């Protein structure tokens, strides 16, 4: 049965732009950190056994409690507490929220959605169909924007292949369109020029029940007449969406494609999801993009005020954004209008809004492990100074709120 008190949040994908697998150099750097930590503790142990004559009087068998085998070596290692070396990267954006009242909510369907859906199917499979708790075989997906790294995992997800499953997608029109024009899951139509081009799959091969709800600003774009083939329903941007006892307030952020963030609340706890948002650093304060970016930043601050946890795009360092330094290369290029924020601006905003815990995600795929680890260590030091927590988001992080 459900052991969740309020909300359980899982990060399946926090990688920006494209999935990455650690390179050979990344693995070497990672092992250098973990091996040196282990060796430090082993030599501290040996040092404690040195006699008055300055020599070590212990045999390997005594040290290991038996002959040198993999089993005794691992048992010896387990005597030490070695802090896990941090890992970054992996799949593109996908976060899952499990609620105490039995609902599964997913934020974005990047490549992490494949793994996420596997876990959801496993959970639903364990539940007896005759029992049908609230939320059983119903998945609520909230999309941020149409870019490929936020939709690419959809057709690989096990939840899409069981006719008993109901999948509700709430998102802006561009997100619904990105899924539908390739797969036809809402309209049951795919342009013959697109069919099979990007993926062999389409709605005929995906038997789950798909439902769409377009989130749009009714003040600018009021729905006219009945819902169309793409959007089964409409939802006003200004209004919260209610899933059981959990509310999700969408709001617009700033990105080259229209993009939504969400403030998620349940039981007095607040989680804010804001991927792909640029706090623009232009020099002309009157430039329409600069004005739009700062308005979006203000909205984000408003919704993040006093939040327990914020997940936010921080793809660049300021020197990289300005083009003074490259990422993974010596060649710097200006990142203005690429749609992503600087880590320094995320920290400033989190302090201003007194967000208790900030996970910085949407990592640049060209940033290597050592650089990520260096940034993360810097964030840990900043956390100690500010009394708030900042860290780089890691896939497979799970926490309760
Ligand atoms: Zn993205
Ligand atoms: Zn994007």
Question: Each residue of 20-78: pLDDT tens digit?
Answer: 998 899 999 999 999 999 999 999 999 999 999 999 988 999 999 999 999 999 999 99
This prediction has a pTM of 0.93
CATH code for the part of the protein at 7-22+87-400: 3.60.15.10
Residue 25: the pLDDT is 92
- CA of 123 from ligand 2 middle (Å) equals 30
- CA of 255 from ligand 2 middle (Å) equals 7
- CA of 173 from ligand 2 middle (Å) equals 15
Residues 6+ apart with CB under 8 A from 299: 251, 252, 253
Q: Which residue from 264, 233, 374 is spatially nearest to 317, judged by alpha carbons?
A: 374
Residue with tokens 């070590």: 56
Tell me if 301 sits within 8 A of 351, measured CB to CB: no
Does residue 131 register a pLDDT over 60? no
Average pLDDT, the chain: 94
Residue 215: the pLDDT is 97
Q: Which residue from 191, 254, 241 is spatially nearest to 214, judged by alpha carbons?
A: 241
Does residue 85 register a pLDDT over 90? no
Reported as a single tens digit per residue, the pLDDT across 184-236 is 999 999 998 988 898 999 999 999 999 999 999 999 988 877 668 888 899 99
List, as ranges, residues with CB under 5 A of the ion ligand 1.
149, 276
Does residue 157 register a pLDDT over 70? yes
The sheet that has 389-392: what strands, in order across it?
241-243, 246-253, 259-266, 269-274, 309-313, 357-361, 389-392
Q: What is the mean pLDDT of residues 254-279?
A: 98
Tell me if 202 sits within 8 A of 179, measured CB to CB: no
Q: What is the mean pLDDT of residues 334-348?
A: 97
Does residue 126 register a pLDDT over 80? no
- CA of 276 from ligand 2 middle (Å) equals 5
- CA of 275 from ligand 1 middle (Å) equals 7
Does residue 84 register a pLDDT over 90? no
Number of helices followed by number of strands (H, E) in the chain:
9, 15
Residue 285: the pLDDT is 95
Q: Residue 48 is encoded by which pair of tokens? A: 């404690």
- CA of 340 from ligand 2 middle (Å) equals 8
Q: Nearest 10 degrees: CA dihedral of 304, 87, 116, 201?
A: 110
In this prediction, residue 83 has a pLDDT band, given cuts at 50, 70 and 90, of confident
Distances (CA, A) of 321 to 92, 274, 366: 21, 19, 14
Q: What percent of the chain has pLDDT over 70?
A: 97
E strand or H helix at 37: helix 24-48
E strand or H helix at 142: strand 138-142
Residue with tokens 């060209």: 366
- CA of 123 from ligand 1 middle (Å) equals 28
Nearest ligand by distance to the CA of 175: 2
Q: Residue 270 is encoded by which pair of tokens? A: 């607040």
Tell me if 262 sits within 8 A of 147, measured CB to CB: no
Q: Which residue from 123, 109, 99, 223 is spatially nearest to 167, judged by alpha carbons?
A: 109
Q: What is the mean pLDDT of residues 382-401?
A: 96
Rounded CA gap, 259 and 312, in Å? 13
């Amino acid at each position: 049965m459900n052991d969740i008190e309020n909300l359980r949040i899982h990060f399946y994908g926090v990688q920006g732009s494209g999935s990455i697998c650690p390179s050979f150099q990344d693995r070497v750097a990672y092992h250098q950190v973990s091996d040196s930590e282990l060796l430090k503790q082993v030599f501290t142990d040996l040092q404690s056994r040195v006699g008055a004559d300055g020599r070590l009087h212990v045999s390997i068998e005594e040290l290991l409690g038996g002959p040198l085998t993999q089993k005794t070596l691992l048992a010896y290692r387990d005597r030490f507490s070695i802090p896990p070396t941090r890992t970054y990267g992996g799949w593109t954006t996908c976060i899952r929220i499990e609620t105490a009242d039995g609902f599964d909510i997913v934020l974005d369907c990047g490549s992490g959605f494949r793994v996420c859906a596997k876990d959801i199917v496993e959970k639903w499979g364990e539940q007896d169909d005759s029992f049908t708790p609230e939320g059983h075989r119903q998945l609520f997906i909230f999309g941020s924007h149409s870019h490929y790294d936020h939709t690419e995992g959809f057709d690989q997800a096990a939840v899409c292949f069981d006719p008993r499953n109901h999948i509700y997608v709430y998102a802006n029109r561009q997100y619904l369109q990105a899924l539908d024009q390739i797969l036809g899951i809402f309209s049951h139509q795919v342009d013959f020029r697109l069919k099979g081009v990007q993926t062999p799959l389409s709605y005929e091969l995906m038997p789950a029940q798909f439902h769409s709800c377009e989130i749009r600003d009714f003040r600018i774009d009021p729905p006219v007449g009945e819902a169309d083939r793409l959007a089964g329903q409409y939802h006003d941007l200004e209004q919260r969406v209610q899933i059981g006892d959990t509310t999700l307030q969408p709001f617009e952020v700033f990105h080259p494609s229209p993009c939504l963030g969400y403030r998620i609340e349940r039981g007095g706890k607040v989680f804010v999801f804001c991927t792909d948002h640029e706090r623009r650093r232009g020099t002309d304060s009157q430039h329409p993009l600069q004005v739009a970016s700062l308005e979006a930043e203000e909205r984000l601050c408003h919704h993040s005020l006093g939040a327990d946890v914020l997940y936010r795009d921080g793809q660049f360092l300021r020197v990289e954004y300005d083009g003074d330094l490259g990422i993974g290369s010596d060649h710097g290029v200006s990142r203005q209008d690429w749609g992503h924020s600087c880590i320094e601006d995320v920290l400033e905003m989190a302090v201003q809004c007194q967000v208790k815990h900030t996970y910085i995600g949407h990592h640049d795929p060209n940033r290597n492990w050592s650089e990520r680890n260096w940034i993360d260590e810097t964030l840990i030091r900043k956390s100690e100074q500010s009394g708030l927590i900042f860290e780089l988001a890691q896939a497979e992080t799970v926490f309760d709120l």
